[in-house]
Amino acid sequence: MSRLDEHIQSFLGWLEVERRYSPETVRGYRIDLQQFCRFLEANDEECIHDLDQIDRNVVRSYLGYLAGDLDQQPRSVARKLAALKSLFKYLHREGHVTLNIAAYVQTPKLPGVIPSYLSEKQIKAVLERLGDSDGWMGKRDLAIVELFYSTGMRVSELAGLTAGDLNYRNGTVKVLGKGSKQRMIPVGQYAWDAIGEYQYVIKKKFGPQADDQPLFLNKNGKGLQAGGIRLRVKKAIQTIAEMKKMSPHILRHSFATHMLNAGADLMALKDLLGHANLSTTQVYTHVQVDKMKKAFKKAHPRADRK
């Protein structure tokens, strides 16, 4: 193992233990940083043994390789650069490098991207189809999608839920988000009803759920992992919509879009989604802008030439 590989393993351990990042996030960092290692092995092997040999030109060459040779999109390149920035910030703080060179490399300009989302009619169709499913797994899948759409939580947050995180009296669910930050999210009645039916049937099949037991179970009675949840959501959405990306995040985007469309406060939505910065939430304001444009064109006497 090279010196760089060793430091990457140490960094990943720090993310997992100290920062308490989710396994999925750590896995993403590992993939991106290992790709940088493989690039150095093929093009400048001295760098993986002497970290001070890695300068801005090396990082820029790597970014050029990603964008040019691999034809990766700006957003992917920016994500991989962010992983390098985090790694070298850690190495600099720990005294393993004299300079955090990645901090001096400019992040590629990203095009404005409007998140994909489902219409309210499509969401209703997905839920109605799931509601027709027989068996306890069908009731589980309905409860998963209802809870996703009702709360807008992340897939990792839903996969980490235990039965004890549900507060029926207050109508909320306790979520452990990024950076181990807890937040309480209100849950709608449709989701509560679906969860109640799901818990009723699994009590018959597996026995009562302890508070510390995973909320959503697989066929063996163990906790349903994030990958399994993605698969169930993808299958549910595919029944009514043809989209390139079929992930639980579509339900998160739908939740945020529909909330704003109905007049929800942006700051309140930020807290519900667990965003650290308001700028992250503002990506959803495209809905309000579209509505304002339509209202302006319809009402203003000089909005358009007839």
Q: What is the reported pLDDT for 78?
A: 85
Both 79 and 8 in one domain: the answer is: yes
| Residue 288 within any structural domain of the chain | no
Both 175 and 205 in one domain: the answer is: yes
For 171: left if phi > 0, alpha if psi spans -120 to 50, otherwise beta; the answer is left
Contact residues for 243 (Cβ-Cβ < 8 A; gap 6+): 116, 237, 250
What is the dihedral sign for C-alpha 222, 224, 226, 228?
Answer: positive
For the annotated catalytic residues, the residue numbers are 154, 178, 249, 252, 275, 284
Q: What is the reported pLDDT for 288?
A: 61
Record the pTM.
Answer: 0.66
pLDDT in tens, 264-282: 888 898 999 988 888 777 7
Percent of the chain with pLDDT over 70: 90
Confidence bin at 296 (pLDDT 50/70/90): low
Q: Which of 33, 197, 190 is nearest to 102 (CA)?
A: 33
pLDDT in tens, 57-103: 888 888 888 888 788 878 788 889 889 989 989 998 888 888 777 77
Both 18 and 95 in one domain: the answer is: yes
Q: What is the reported pLDDT for 52?
A: 80
Both 124 and 249 in one domain: the answer is: yes
User: What is the mean predicted confidence (pLDDT) over 205-227?
Assistant: 94
Q: What is the span of the domain harbouring residue 71?
A: 3-104
- Is the pLDDT score of 294 beyond 90? no
Q: What is the reported pLDDT for 60?
A: 85
CB 191 within 8 A of CB 147: yes
First-residue to last-residue Cα distance in the chain:
71
Q: How far is CA 42 from CA 76, 87, 216, in A?
A: 21, 20, 44
Q: What is the reported pLDDT for 293?
A: 67
Task: Give how many domains the chain has, as a whole number.
Answer: 2
Both 58 and 166 in one domain: the answer is: no
Among the ranges given (49-58, 99-108, 219-228), the one the predictor scored with the smallest mean pLDDT: 99-108
User: What is the mean predicted confidence (pLDDT) over 136-145?
Assistant: 95
